[in-house]
Amino acid sequence: MILFKAVTVKVSLMITLATVLLTSLSLAAKPQETESKPLPKIIALSPHIVEMLYDVGAGKQIIATTDFADYPEQAKNIPSIGNYIRLQLEKVIALQPDLIIAWKSGNPSDDLARLSQLGFKVVYSEPKTFRDIAKELRQFADLSGHSEQGRQVADAFLKQLDDIKDRYRDKQTITAFYELWSRPLTTIARGSWPQQHLNICRAENPFEQVSSPYPQVNIEQVLKTPIQLIIQPLSVNQKDKEGFNWRDWPTIQAVSENNIITPDADALHRMTRRSLLALDKLCLDIDKVRQSYLSGI
């Protein structure tokens, strides 16, 4: 009986050992399979797509891009195969990418149609809201073979977005003028990318209801509106002088109170994870001005 028990224990041990061995072998074999499968070579046709791919860990797979892809630093070394006007089809063909990620409204649609026709896989990016950024982070991560990292980055992004929204949800609104360009003086309205920034930060845009998303305005229209804050985003490539000279108009409340903020236009306007950091900073700056008005009452 004792002998039988000993044999049973031995057999059970052997079976367990064999199972563990097989499982570990199969587990060890699985990553090797994944590793052996080459990751797709990608052409990313806009700076925001390049940035998103770096965010999900697929930066090294980018074999070409378009002009102005300058973030992160490594992106400056990616060869360019065109710009927002035209792509060099011959170069795309020579590179033989597995995947082309294009910006639907920012790339030449005829060139993209031609590439699809030639048999290349073209996937489009068209983020309209912050939530679209998270969606595309996941999508690009799946397509580039980095699903897990993409999911983590997208989840963290959405959580951070919700945190910012919650922080300012019940704040009192402040009237702000958003200077998109200075010559001609151009602002934003509904349907534009930065309008959602103002909505989240509880800044009221007096031109929100204009039908054009990026309307040109007359300084007289600004003068007749009580503006408490002027937001003048500036790019790193832009000199301060290129912004509108608000000091010439001291009758505007925001100017007389020196409530002019100059956030980083590149981070604010590029539809990537970085825009959330810029949003956070913008809301903080707007809130400081809000507090100064509230404390002055």
Q: Interface residues with another protein (CB under 8 A)? A: 67, 79-91, 93-94, 96, 105-106, 108-111, 113-114, 117-118, 191, 211-214, 216
C-beta closer to another protein: residue 109 or 218: 109
C-beta closer to another protein: residue 59 or 82: 82
Give me the least distance between CB of 169 and another protein, in Å please: 30
Strands 203-204 and 174-178: parallel
Give me the least distance between CB of 271 and another protein, in Å please: 13
Query: How close are the terminal C-alpha atoms of the chain, in Å?
Result: 93
C-beta closer to another protein: residue 84 or 249: 84
The conformation of residue 229, written as its DSSP 8-state character, comes to E
Give me the least distance between CB of 205 and another protein, in Å please: 17
Instruction: Please count the other Cβ atoms lying within 10 Å of the Cβ belonging to residue 29.
Output: 9
C-beta closer to another protein: residue 143 or 189: 189
Give me the least distance between CB of 144 and another protein, in Å please: 23
Q: Can you list the pairs that 243-252 forms with residues at least 24 positions away whose Cβ atoms lie under 8 Å? A: 243/179, 243/182, 244/179, 244/182, 244/183, 244/185, 249/219, 249/222, 249/223, 251/223, 252/222, 252/223, 252/227
Tokens of 122: 């073209």
Give me the least distance between CB of 93 and another protein, in Å please: 5
Task: Note whether 144 and 53 are within 8 A (CB).
Answer: yes
C-beta closer to another protein: residue 46 or 275: 46
Chain position carrying tokens 């983020």: 127
Distance of CA 117 to the CA centre of its chain: 29
Give me the least distance between CB of 82 and another protein, in Å please: 6
Q: Which residues pair with 36 in a beta bridge?
A: none
C-beta closer to another protein: residue 168 or 181: 181
Task: Note whether 160 and 274 are within 8 A (CB).
Answer: no
Tokens of 186: 């151009």
C-beta closer to another protein: residue 8 or 109: 109
Give me the least distance between CB of 50 and another protein, in Å please: 15
